[in-house]
Structure 1
Amino acid sequence: MGSKRSMLTNGLGDALSQSIAECNRVFDLFTGSGAVAWHVAQKYDREVIASDLQSYAVALAAGVIERTEPLADHRWLDSWFDCAREMQPSRFFQKATNLQEKLEVEQIAGAAIEARELCADFNLPVCFAYGGYYYSPLQSLWLDTLRIALPKNANQRRIGLAALIIAASQSAAAPGHTAQPFKPNETAGRFLKEAWMRDIQFLVKRAAVSVSEKHALKAGRAIVGDANELANQVIEGDLVFLDPPYSGVHYSRFYHVLETVALGEVGEISGNGRYPPSEERPRSQYSLRTRSKPVLDGLLKVISQKGASAIVTFPAGAASNGLSGEDVADLSERYFAIEEVKVSSRFSTLGGDKKHREARQNTTELILRLSPK
């Protein structure tokens, strides 16, 4: 996806600063990685309401925006990890550890077969669904048991869950998202091995320390929900940040692994990507070519009627969901006075194959500041 984290230093941060000065609350209705919600919550004394259809995105946002103090004492991390370790069956742990130690010298094809056989009958969600694919058995075991052992303290739990999702993303054996894992063959096997050798305990602890140092200036809320429905909660004086989907494929197909980590459960799985059934994956009308334009029009109309202002970001060219930057600007102009900025950015094609398109491409991104007419 387009990196809002980088855009915050490349025009988006300035647009937010100019708009927030005159607003009461900030809504981030497609929060995604939570980068914008975190930025606003840490920098401005405003309540931030972040939402998304996917639970992992909401958990990431909540890790910062629902807390108003840093957590400087990190001793709880040791207790959390000790509790998780006590939950790990000794026989499975020993086999997973032995396999992990052999990764440096063993051929990945053989290791993958052994890993999949080990995890196939183990009834924990990450191990069962993704062990031997996106993660090694040992990585999977730690992700599962740390998820089960999350602290009861609300702030520690928020930080811990956000850290698990971050570490799961950083260690996944997949090309930037989790649509499909690397295969244990001559082409991708080395990338699979490299990912499986990442220290999941280190990554979780590093992420937890980093998140714990961040906090909101004013307590906000993170909500799983539809953007168009939540827009009805907007009132005059609010600022709404919109970074709507641009892909014609539902984003849940690319982030189902992180969703499993966030929820701590998984149902039936199938396909090369180890997907849950389509009816169990969040579906957005913004990813349907026949619906993307009317649902965006409806969203902008409601925000305008509420008397709120908005900031919209979208690739300047044509996107695979049928919308273009020109469409977004035209729809916005129906309801708002527009101030437009264009910046250079890089975004994911969500499935580049290097034959027909690269996984990441340079693009021009629109930043539209929308003021009530």
Structure 2
Amino acid sequence: MVKMQNSELILSCDGIDESKNDIFRPIHYLGSKLRVLEQIDGIISNLASTGDHVVDLFSGSGTVSNFLSNKYSVTGNDIQEYSRVINSALLCSRVGMLEAERFLTSCTNSYFHDLSEKCINPLINLERSAIKESFDGDNHLLCNVIESGSIMASDAIEGSPLFEALNVVKNRLNSAQVLHSNQFIATKYFGGVYFSYKQAVDFDVIAYEISLLKNTPKDIYMAALLSTVSEVVNSVGKHFAQPIRPRYKDGRPKNNLAKSVSKDRDIDVMSTYRKFLYKYVESSKRKYPNYATKLDFKNALEESENVKVVYADPPYTRDHYSRFYHVLETLALQDSPDISTTNIKGEVKYSRGIYRENRHQSPFCIRSKAPSAFEELFYLTKNSGASLVLSYSPFSSESKAHPRVMDIDTINNLGKKYFSNIECISAGELRHSKLNHSSKHLNASDEAELFFIFK
């Protein structure tokens, strides 16, 4: 039996010095490996030589792939488009600083500013009034904007100021023939709820200018946009599992609502975008050929050639990661998805998080499917001739944390069927940050991260 203590939720990125060792956090990410990059590199260096091919199978935000690409030829793979875009920007795409400057100028001078001003201004002005009223002590309108401000998924009360402004904007978008197009995606779906309407419009301006690019890599520009979206979002933990709740359970608006909303909604999108775009441009120089793929883990393993090491960090809890990044996925795809619904006391409503219909559901998050998924992971890696480094965040059955779908011993026993040499290494005492209020923090073990090495 493998006996290790356990942990809960995500590795904190707070306090990370991104100026060292090419560390770069593209987005706020659950389970980010920023704090253990050197440990991962140290493990892989005992399995592979400089320039060898390493596959980061569930690459997520791309931090591991990016870090390893300093020494290896890396394939960053993930099933989500936003991840492919970020990996492509970090690993494969190259854009010069002059090109980046030209693009920023095109965003500043975009005709889309005029179109957005004609269409969206009633909601921008309404939100500004709502925040002012909230600072003056009346939170009613601001609560409504946060709870019901989505143009595509609003349940605003008929006759209310928000309802009237939404109708005016919908009519203007319809007249401009963009209400049902793949333009104004950020504004139509997520404005007012996750971002200010002004911020959402700026996202859409940038996305529009990206769509006009020809004969140049688009992924760096889109990745910088996704990083900006993650940086400015007004939500708990800077993720997209759900918008903030502006009221207490008894219906009263929360204290200091305007202040907590403004700290994110006052962030300037264009200056933040400029910062991230420069960061991607500076990071886009690599010694070895790299690849960014968007494949199911099985297809990625079957299609990869001459792989020396597979690094795998699959999800382990019942929480599907796609719920935390659905906004990034929609903006990366620039499509107009149907919104999922929920049944509340017999009434069908749009999901509060404005989730995409048919989001990816990982088999590693489903108790009935996880064993066979791990079995396929072991079989296909062994069949490729590669070693496998598997990240695992333990869990204590005595705690109230979300249980892991697969426990350590089950994973270990499955691995023994395919690999004769198995090691387990601890990353040491790492503290975990939580997404909820500090009063609700669950106890976390100091044994925060384990690495299984199968060879």
Q: 1:84-112 CA deviation, whole Å, 9 max, x = no partner?
A: 45454233465566467667744164245
Within 5 A, what are the aligned runs for 1:191-202? 191-202=260-271
Question: Shift of residue 79 of structure 1?
Answer: 2.9
Within 5 A, what are the aligned runs for 1:247-258? 247-258=317-328
Residue matched to 1:207: 276
Aligned identity (percent) is: 21
Contact 1:24-1:238 at 8 Å conserved across structures? yes
1:340 aligned to which of 417, 424, 444: 424
Q: 1:3-39 CA deviation, whole Å, 9 max, x = no partner?
A: 2111113x22211333331773111110111111111
2:288 aligned to which of 218, 221, 245: 218
Indicate yes or no: 2:440 matched with 1:364. Answer: no
C-alpha distance in structure 1 between counterparts of 2:269 and 2:362, whole Å: 32
C-alpha distance in structure 2 between counterparts of 1:222 and 1:254, whole Å: 21
1:110 aligned to which of 118, 127, 141: 141
Residue matched to 1:71: 96
Q: From the superposition, tell whether residues 104 and 87 of structure 1 become closer, same or farther in structure 2 (CA, over 3 Å).
A: closer
Indicate yes or no: 2:212 matched with 1:127. Answer: no
Contact 1:182-1:188 at 8 Å conserved across structures? no
Indicate yes or no: 2:250 matched with 1:180. Answer: no
Residue matched to 1:158: 219
Q: 1:100-139 CA deviation, whole Å, 9 max, x = no partner?
A: 7667744164245468245673532211111110010001
Secondary structure of 2:193 counterpart:
coil
Q: From the superposition, tell whether residues 273 and 187 of structure 1 become closer, same or farther in structure 2 (CA, over 3 Å).
A: farther
Secondary structure of 1:159 counterpart:
helix
2:206 aligned to which of 119, 124, 146: 146
Contact 1:163-1:211 at 8 Å conserved across structures? yes
**Which is worse superposed, 224-233 or 360-369?**
360-369
Q: 1:43-99 CA deviation, whole Å, 9 max, x = no partner?
A: 1242x22211211111111111113x5633342232341354545423346556646
Secondary structure of 2:430 counterpart:
strand
Q: 1:144-178 CA deviation, whole Å, 9 max, x = no partner?
A: 22112115256552111111111111111111211
C-alpha distance in structure 1 between counterparts of 2:123 and 2:51, whole Å: 53
C-alpha distance in structure 1 between counterparts of 2:133 and 2:78, whole Å: 42
Contact 1:316-1:326 at 8 Å conserved across structures? no
**Which is worse superposed, 202-211 or 12-21?**
12-21
Residue matched to 1:8: 37
C-alpha distance in structure 2 between counterparts of 1:23 and 1:274, whole Å: 43
Question: Shift of residue 325 of structure 1?
Answer: 3.0
Residue matched to 1:305: 383
Question: Shift of residue 327 of structure 1?
Answer: 2.8
Contact 1:32-1:52 at 8 Å conserved across structures? yes
Question: Shift of residue 289 of structure 1?
Answer: 0.6
2:84 aligned to which of 58, 63, 72: 58
Secondary structure of 1:14 counterpart:
helix
Residue matched to 1:322: 405
Contact 1:235-1:307 at 8 Å conserved across structures? no
C-alpha distance in structure 1 between counterparts of 2:413 and 2:295, whole Å: 26
Residue matched to 1:259: 329
The residue type equivalent to 1:130 in the other structure is F
1:244 aligned to which of 314, 330, 334: 314
Q: From the superposition, tell whether residues 223 and 109 of structure 1 become closer, same or farther in structure 2 (CA, over 3 Å).
A: farther
Q: Could you tell me the TM-score, scaled by structure 2's length?
A: 0.72
Aligned residues between the structures: 364
Question: Shift of residue 362 of structure 1?
Answer: 5.9
Question: Shift of residue 364 of structure 1?
Answer: 2.0
Structure number with larger C-alpha Rg: 2
Secondary structure of 2:449 counterpart:
strand
The residue type equivalent to 2:35 in the other structure is S
Residue matched to 2:343: none
Question: Shift of residue 290 of structure 1?
Answer: 0.9
Residue matched to 1:233: 303
Q: From the superposition, tell whether residues 322 and 72 of structure 1 become closer, same or farther in structure 2 (CA, over 3 Å).
A: same
Two-structure CA RMSD over aligned residues (Å): 2.8
Q: Could you tell me the TM-score, scaled by structure 1's length?
A: 0.87
C-alpha distance in structure 2 between counterparts of 1:174 and 1:199, whole Å: 17
Contact 1:23-1:238 at 8 Å conserved across structures? no
Secondary structure of 1:311 counterpart:
strand
C-alpha distance in structure 2 between counterparts of 1:52 and 1:276, whole Å: 18
Indicate yes or no: 2:358 matched with 1:275. Answer: no
The residue type equivalent to 2:268 in the other structure is D
Contact 1:310-1:370 at 8 Å conserved across structures? yes
Residue matched to 1:30: 58
Q: From the superposition, tell whether residues 6 and 97 of structure 1 become closer, same or farther in structure 2 (CA, over 3 Å).
A: same
The residue type equivalent to 1:72 in the other structure is M
C-alpha distance in structure 2 between counterparts of 1:61 and 1:188, whole Å: 38
Provide structure 1 residue ranges, at least 5 long, that are not aligned to the other structure: none
Q: From the superposition, tell whether residues 348 and 53 of structure 1 become closer, same or farther in structure 2 (CA, over 3 Å).
A: farther
The residue type equivalent to 2:86 in the other structure is L
Question: Shift of residue 183 of structure 1?
Answer: 2.7
The residue type equivalent to 2:225 in the other structure is L
Question: Shift of residue 236 of structure 1?
Answer: 4.8
Contact 1:249-1:321 at 8 Å conserved across structures? no
Contact 2:47-2:308 at 8 Å conserved across structures? no
Secondary structure of 1:27 counterpart:
strand
Q: From the superposition, tell whether residues 96 and 299 of structure 1 become closer, same or farther in structure 2 (CA, over 3 Å).
A: same
Question: Shift of residue 193 of structure 1?
Answer: 2.7
1:19 aligned to which of 39, 47, 68: 47
